[in-house]
Structure 1
Amino acid sequence: MMKTLLLLVIVVLAYGLTALLRRYALARSLLDVPNARSSHVAPTPRGGGVAIVISFVAGLCVLYGLDWGVTLPVFLALLGAGLAIAVLGFLDDHGHIAARWRLLGHFAAAAWVLYWLGGLPPLSLLGWTLELGWLGTALASVYLVWVLNLYNFMDGIDGIASVEALSVCVGGALLYVYLEQPVYALLPLLLAAAVAGFLCWNFPPAKIFMGDAGSGFLGIALGTLSLQAAWLAPQLLWCWLILLGVFIVDATLTLLRRLARGDKVYQAHRSHAYQYATRQFGRHLPVTLAVWVINLVWLWPLAWWVAAGGLDGVLGVLLAYLPLVALAVYFRAGALEEQGNA
């Protein structure tokens, strides 16, 4: 009962803080003004993701203080890296930080997480258990930085980043329940609660945008939660990769195609599959809802199957990603933008 009450309080807190941040952004003219690289058509307040950060951190302190499934290393990993990335994003939202300094900050946050979590856990791979040592730590660092950045890349239409985070966190929590470790489900549910309060304002048509502070925070938090899950049960890393599939596939395929073409990948663009889909449908809502449906009817069952031991994790990821790659190719992920739409 107390745990449910805490989650409800976090939803309300995030909702109220988002309302206050919207008023602040309007008063200070902190608006995303549409331009040639935008997917929205009206000036919209930004920076609402700070409400997610504050609400989640408050709940995290409660969970740790009451010893509800949050150990000191996990607490420090999430708190330190999450706040650092949120502050970096907040400063970038209010001005501009060069890409190289942002990237340096991202790798520093990843190093902090890996220090407290103990690096990359042993991997379950086609029946083998692999311990990669320092190589694993390096790969895990790149993974965390990529998840952080892809979340920023994919936060381009109303509600999509919020719906994805909500879906992934609820799916991850259900896996803990299935594995009879419900106390660990509280942490992803806490993040889901913070996102839910914000989503009330961000659902299409959005009344406020998340901003880099929120999207970067969600990226590093989800990456950290996935590694924590892998330390508890090796197959859960593959489950979280499955749950994150929509964002991983679209962002990765888009990046690879732009790199192959010689584009400056740090420049804003509208060539993700979800952005092409939005222009094709003429609205944000169908694409945002499609992300939720894909997670619910395709990725959740596959993650569950892997968690139950009925399917190898690597094979599960490949099976999950194949139709997502097909969808991304269909919607021209990474394709050169036409001059009229650029």
Structure 2
Amino acid sequence: MTIWLVFSAVLSASLLLTWVLRRYALSRSLMDIPNGRSSHSVPTPRGGGVAIVLTYLVTLVLVAFAGWVSWSAALPLLGAGALIAVVGFLDDHGHIAARWRLLAHFGAALWALLWMGGLPTISLVGVEVDLGWLGHVLAALYLVWMLNLYNFMDGIDGIASIEAVCACAGACLVYWLTGHENLMIAPMLLAVAVLGFLYWNFPPARIFMGDAGSGFLGVVIGILSLQAAWAAPEMLWVWLILLGVFIVDATFTLGRRLLRGDKVYEAHRSHAYQYASRLAGRHLPVTLTVMAINLLWLLPIALFVGLGFDGVLGLMVAYIPLVLLAIKFHAGELEKA
């Protein structure tokens, strides 16, 4: 019963704090003004993701003191999440050069990996493989990519919030069914914190997440996936499957832009979800479609993998239709004038 009271408090705090941040943004004219590379058409307050950050980090400290989450699990999330949120907040309110942001991203990844012990053994076609130092390098790149791809994919109303709620709640369902209930608290707290923000961010959004929120979600979700892999190697595949929509769209788009020689650090509107939202004429159908894919396609496959189905094969089955969708919706292609 106590944990449900905590979840209720987190939901209420996130909901209220987002309202406060919206009022603050409106009073200070902290608005996201549409331009030629935007996916929205109406000036909208930004920075609401700070509500997720504050609610989650404060609650994580409290549940760690209560013994519901170990400090060895909480500290990677607290340190890396706080650093990325601060850098994102400063970038939202001014500008930080890309090289300094990237340095902070790798610093956050290093902090998390030092506490976790790097990359655990991973399960490949039924064999557990220890990649040694190469695995630790790959884990750092993975965390940096996760936080950046989450930023890239936070481009239409509600999509980043829906993805976080679906992935975290889906992982908790897999944990519950496979006897890993001890892993459930941290991701479920994140899902509930995001849910409070989603009330204000659901299409049509009344406030945007901002870099502080999107980068925070990316790095925290990445850390949660690696922590799960330490408990059970197959859980890394579970998380990668649950995050398939974001991983495939962002990676496919980046790959095409790199091959074309684009400046990949510049803003653009060439993700598949952005093309789909322009085709639909609004954001809601695309956001709801992402939720449907998560719940009706990716979650069942993740459940099978959690229950013993091969993770590599499960990932391939999950991703092939997503790649086809990315091609269908012109991910990474130049926008026609």
- Bin of the TM-score, shorter chain as denominator length: over 0.9
> Match for residue 30 of structure 1?
30
* Shift in Å, 1:176: 1.0
Structure 2 residue 150 is the aligned partner of structure 1 residue 182: no
Q: Which amino acid aligns with 2:11?
A: V
How many Å separate the matches in 1 of 2:224 and 2:87?
20
Q: Which amino acid aligns with 1:314?
A: V
Q: For 1:84, what is the secondary structure of its paired residue?
A: helix
Q: Which amino acid aligns with 1:331?
A: F
How many Å separate the matches in 1 of 2:126 and 2:207?
46
Q: For 2:200, what is the secondary structure of its paired residue?
A: helix
Q: Deviations over 1:34-59 (max 9, x none)?
A: 00000101100000000000010121
Structure 2 residue 14 is the aligned partner of structure 1 residue 14: yes
How many Å separate the matches in 1 of 2:283 and 2:207?
14
* Shift in Å, 1:181: 2.5
Moved over 2 A (4+): none
* Shift in Å, 1:74: 1.5
Structure 2 residue 336 is the aligned partner of structure 1 residue 333: no
Q: TM-score, normalised by structure 1?
A: 0.98
* Shift in Å, 1:113: 0.5
> Match for residue 129 of structure 1?
128
Task: Identify which of 309, 312, 323 aligns with 2:310.
Answer: 312
Give 1:219-258 correspondences, 5 Å limit: 219-258=218-257
Q: Deviations over 1:194-248 (max 9, x none)?
A: 0000000000000000000000000000000000000011100000000010000
> Match for residue 279 of structure 2?
280
Give 1:99-118 correspondences, 5 Å limit: 99-118=98-117
How many Å separate the matches in 2 of 1:3 and 1:72?
18
Q: For 1:268, what is the secondary structure of its paired residue?
A: coil
* Shift in Å, 1:17: 0.4
> Match for residue 81 of structure 1?
80
Q: Which amino acid aligns with 1:124?
A: S
> Match for residue 52 of structure 1?
52
Q: Which amino acid aligns with 1:122?
A: T
Structure 2 residue 177 is the aligned partner of structure 1 residue 172: no
> Match for residue 263 of structure 1?
262
> Match for residue 198 of structure 1?
197
Q: Over aligned residue pairs, what C-alpha RMSD do you find?
A: 0.6
Q: Which amino acid aligns with 1:182?
A: E
* Shift in Å, 1:154: 0.1
How many Å separate the matches in 1 of 2:126 and 2:166?
29
Give the gaps of 5 or more residues in structure 1. none
How many Å separate the matches in 2 of 1:338 and 1:31?
28
* Shift in Å, 1:133: 1.1
Q: Which amino acid aligns with 2:121?
A: P
How many Å separate the matches in 1 of 2:5 and 2:23?
27
Aligned residues: 337
How many Å separate the matches in 2 of 1:260 and 1:268?
17
Give 1:51-70 correspondences, 5 Å limit: 51-68=51-68, 70=69
* Shift in Å, 1:287: 0.3
How many Å separate the matches in 2 of 1:140 and 1:303?
21
Q: Deviations over 1:54-83 (max 9, x none)?
A: 010121012211111x22221110000000
Q: Which amino acid aligns with 2:232?
A: A
Q: Which amino acid aligns with 2:224?
A: L
* Shift in Å, 1:100: 1.0
Give 1:84-99 correspondences, 5 Å limit: 84-99=83-98
Structure 2 residue 152 is the aligned partner of structure 1 residue 153: yes
Q: For 2:184, what is the secondary structure of its paired residue?
A: helix
Q: For 1:246, what is the secondary structure of its paired residue?
A: helix
How many Å separate the matches in 1 of 2:63 and 2:291?
28
Residue identity over aligned pairs, in percent, reads 64
Q: For 1:67, what is the secondary structure of its paired residue?
A: coil
* Shift in Å, 1:184: 1.8
Q: For 1:124, what is the secondary structure of its paired residue?
A: strand
How many Å separate the matches in 1 of 2:306 and 2:128?
16
* Shift in Å, 1:183: 3.0
Task: Identify which of 322, 327, 340 aligns with 2:320.
Answer: 322
Q: For 1:129, what is the secondary structure of its paired residue?
A: strand
Give 1:291-302 correspondences, 5 Å limit: 291-302=290-301
How many Å separate the matches in 2 of 1:242 and 1:78?
21
Give the gaps of 5 or more residues in structure 2. none
